[in-house]
A and B are shown apart, each in its own frame.
Chain A
Amino acid sequence: GQQVMQIPQYQHVQEGEDFTTYCNSSTTLSNIQWYKQRPGGHPVFLIQLVKSGEVKKQKRLTFQFGEAKKNSSLHITATQTTDVGTYFCGSGTYKYIFGTGTRLKVLA
């Protein structure tokens, strides 16, 4: 079945440094959605990408969908302590498959 792999599993950065997490699939994805889960919280929807090569920005966050629609990335510029949490990518139409997530820690 469809699987979505995410790397890295963990990332510790100094506040102000950049951060990137990658999402990869062996099959073509119809879409990619990104969610953020704060410690002790629930996943919160960030954005959806559906077009090949699509790039979307939300303030310091940049989301990309690969040309082959098999990978995606989330890049955070100049991390802040409020960025702490686990970032998940997911894909699907009705049944969503999620990656294992990248846990981001930001050191002040």
Chain B
Amino acid sequence: DAGVTQSPTHLIKTRGQQVTLRCSPKSGHDTVSWYQQALGQGPQFIFQYYEEEERQRGNFPDRFSGHQFPNYSSELNVNALLLGDSALYLCASSTGTKNSPLHFGNGTRLTVT
């Protein structure tokens, strides 16, 4: 039973570039949430996708966008990268019901130079 898988594991980009991160949820999960975790901080909610639509969004600018595919996998896109976007990006899947525990992937470490 595969857990949450994310790719790539590490990425280095230059300011102004665009990046796409990918996530496959745990088997049996239909909901994907994305979090940004800066060093020494707790995960910050970016958005959640359910039934291929954005169900909830955190306080992130429109440069952050996402998509969910029919097989429940998801992508996070960030445009016009800033140095401050450097962080660990975590994908978490769940069953989509209220209060459902989150199962996190290993994350993508993004460095913007």
Report how many A-B pairs have Cβ atoms within 8 Å. Answer: 61
The 8 Å CB contact of A95, one of B41, B48, B104, B106, is B48
A50–B103 CA distance with the chains assembled, in angstroms: 19
Closest residue of B by beta carbon distance from A44: B104
Instruction: Name the segment of B64-72, B78-86, B94-102 touching the other chain.
Output: B94-102
Interface size in chain A (residues, C-beta < 8 A): 25
The smallest C-beta distance from A15 to any residue of chain B, in angstroms, reads: 24
Give residues 84-101 of A contacting B (CB, 8 Å): 88, 90, 92-101
Residues in B with CB closer than 8 Å to A93 are 98-99
Residues in B with CB closer than 8 Å to A42 are 90, 104-107
Residues in B with CB closer than 8 Å to A30 are 99
Q: Are A88 and B42 in contact (CB under 8 A)?
A: yes
Q: Are B99 and A99 in contact (CB under 8 A)?
A: no
With an 8 A cutoff between CB atoms, is B55 at the interface? Answer: yes
Q: Are A94 and B42 in contact (CB under 8 A)?
A: no
A93–B92 CA distance with the chains assembled, in angstroms: 14
Q: Are B101 and A95 in contact (CB under 8 A)?
A: no
**Residue of B42, B50, B104 most packed against chain A (CB within 10 A):** B42
With an 8 A cutoff between CB atoms, is B8 at the interface? Answer: no
Residues in B with CB closer than 8 Å to A95 are 33, 45, 48, 56, 58
Q: Are B42 and A98 in contact (CB under 8 A)?
A: yes
**Residue of A30, A50, A92, A99 most packed against chain B (CB within 10 A):** A92
Residues of B within 8 A of A (CB): 31, 33, 40-45, 48, 50, 55-56, 58-59, 90, 92, 98-99, 101-107
Residues of A within 8 A of B (CB): 1, 6, 30-31, 33, 35, 41-45, 48, 50, 88, 90, 92-101
